[in-house]
Amino acid sequence: MVYAIGNLHGCYDKWQHMLKEIKFSDSDDMYVLGDTVDYSDESMPLLFDMMERHNVYPIMGEREYKFLSFVKNFPTKKGLEEFAKSLSPENVPEFTKWIKDGGRTTFEGYMKLSADDKNAVLDYLDEFMLYDSCFAGDNEFVFTHSGIKNFNPDKSLDDYEIDDFLDVDISADTAYYNNKYMVVGHKPTFSISAEYAGKIYKNKKFIDIDCGCYYHTAGGRLGCLRLDDFKEFYV
């Protein structure tokens, strides 16, 4: 079976619960559509669990991209203050914004790792794809974190820039392909419409699986879609 999930935001316990709920096995495949890190404080355990699974395929989200862009070339034994001082002046506002908006837990969790584990995390994040695709059942699926900016169905996905995949606004009438499904995360479904709080959103050939896992006070929960038969699972 083939599954899609997204926007875990460090919710390691919910990830484990979902894997048990769907009876995930070595013969299954799971596409994780970005924003695996930030907010919750177990982003590192979640990443290590994912990297040990040969059948989990991670997509790059804006959160992973920001984390990588800040820490990839930073000495592994420095702390938050030293890190902030090492940034160029033009990068300080963006780093400060990231730290205040959920990034602190990821940064602090990363800094507690051994040097080898830090390198393993960075190497793994470097492997995240901007997009991926598969066939399941009788359908073809394309996976990105947030959709595609300035989308053209005749344009190769290889011809888009990184930013085109990371922060695209979506709405109830978002549409991409006519002959295959676009599956994204990024925007909690409750922000599309209150009636979709905690539910996977489907609109013809477009699917948003970000059910607001971290935002439980707004009715969010973790959603997972089995692509073979479109069965929905929630934790």
Domain boundaries, the chain: 2-65+125-234
Q: Which CATH number fits domain 2-65+125-234: 3.40.50.10490, 1.10.10.60, 3.40.50.1380, 3.60.21.10?
A: 3.60.21.10
Give the pLDDT confidence of 154-209 residue by residue, as tens digits.
999 999 999 999 999 888 889 999 999 999 999 999 999 889 999 999 998 999 99
Crossing angle of helices 62-71 and 104-111, in 10° steps, is 50
What is the pTM for the complete model shown? 0.94
> Which of 195, 192, 189 lies closest to 220 in space, CA to CA?
189
Look up residue 63 and give its two tokens.
């959160």
Q: What share of the chain is helix, strand, coil (3-state, %, to 5)?
A: 35, 20, 45
pLDDT of residue 95: 85
Q: Report the alpha-carbon distance of residue 123 to residue 221 in Å, rounded.
A: 29
Question: In the predicted model, what is the mean pLDDT of residues 120-133?
Answer: 96
* Residue owning tokens 């991409």: 176
Higher-pLDDT residue of 131 and 219 is: 131
Q: Report the alpha-carbon distance of residue 193 to residue 140 in Å, rounded.
A: 27
Q: Is the pLDDT of residue 140 over 80?
A: yes
pLDDT of residue 78: 62
Categorize the per-residue pLDDT at 37 as very low, low, confident or very high, splitting at 50, 70 and 90: very high
What percent of the chain is predicted at pLDDT more than 70? Answer: 97
